[in-house]
Amino acid sequence: IGGSNWFGRRSNTAVRFTGLFVANETGNHTFELAGDDVAELWLGEDENPVPRVVTAVTDADPTYARRIAQCPGATSSYASYAEQRGFAQLEAGQKYWMQAIVANGQTHSDIHMRVSVNGRALFTDAVPSQFLAKIDAWAPPVTVTAMGIPARVGHGCSRRGECDFNFLAEKTPVLLSISPTTLSGATSTITVTGTGFSTTASDNIVSVGGVKCATSTATATEIVCTTETAVPAGKHYVRVRVVGRGRATNSVAIS
């Protein structure tokens, strides 16, 4: 990402870059953004495109992409605004939907990004090709998403796009509560209660503010997990995804 004079026009322009960010190692990634005039960086939970929602980075609903960083004013420095820096716990080999946006009023326009993982710099300004992947341009004419899991509609739909679907609440995981609601220390053990969880502990994928919470025990109504690292300060949503069933409904905050 970077450059100026987009498509031969320097003033009153806005450019949007959309693609996939490929994590090459597991860890806490720091994303930093700089630009001229205004720039934003959005990151999804996985490679599937999701709607954007303007919320605080630490207060994002898990069904939407997070605005991981933003540059509210023109600057070439990565340290002019607190909002220029955001964090995400990513897993090696996984692809994450990413979108960068820059809007310019007058003359020069650019956007720059640098990323570090576990405190070690990966790259600055130019994004190396090994960290990027293209999004398949083809998409089915009708797409259904159930609890964040996309499904292609078969031949049962009419030419007018009319389709019948059944949603079974009893098949959908539900997050009801968490304990404790306040965390401290390098790691924390959390008990998540709800319904529709898997009795196979590893099939329940839990994260808190982007930090993975390793599941130790699980029943259909309770998950016990321990965060692998300290959760950043602030308010966060606990996310639960059950393999084969999708994301749990409800969002419960923790601080």
**Nearest in space to 15 (alpha carbons), one of 108, 111, 146:** 111
Instruction: Please tell me the least confidently modeled range out of 8-12, 94-98, 111-115.
Output: 8-12
Around Cβ 164, how many Cβ atoms within 10 Å?
7
What's the pLDDT score for residue 222? 96
Q: Which residues contact 242 (CB under 8 A, 6 or more apart)?
A: 173, 196, 197, 198, 203, 204, 205, 248
What's the pLDDT score for residue 163? 53
Q: What is the CATH code for 171-254?
A: 2.60.40.10
Residue 218 binned pLDDT confidence (cut-offs 50, 70, 90) = very high
Q: Locate the domains of the chain by residue range.
A: 6-133, 171-254
d(CA 100, CA 148): 22
% of the chain surpassing 70 pLDDT? 71
- Tell me: pLDDT of 139 over 50: no
Around Cβ 229, how many Cβ atoms within 10 Å?
14
Residue 203 binned pLDDT confidence (cut-offs 50, 70, 90) = very high
% of the chain surpassing 90 pLDDT? 12
Residue 214 binned pLDDT confidence (cut-offs 50, 70, 90) = very high
pLDDT digits (tens, 9 = 90+) for 13-67: 777 888 888 888 888 899 998 887 788 888 887 777 666 554 443 344 445 567 8
Tokens of 22: 């490929």
What's the pLDDT score for residue 73? 83
CATH 2.60.120.1560 is held by the domain 6-133: yes
Answering whether pTM is above 0.85, one says no
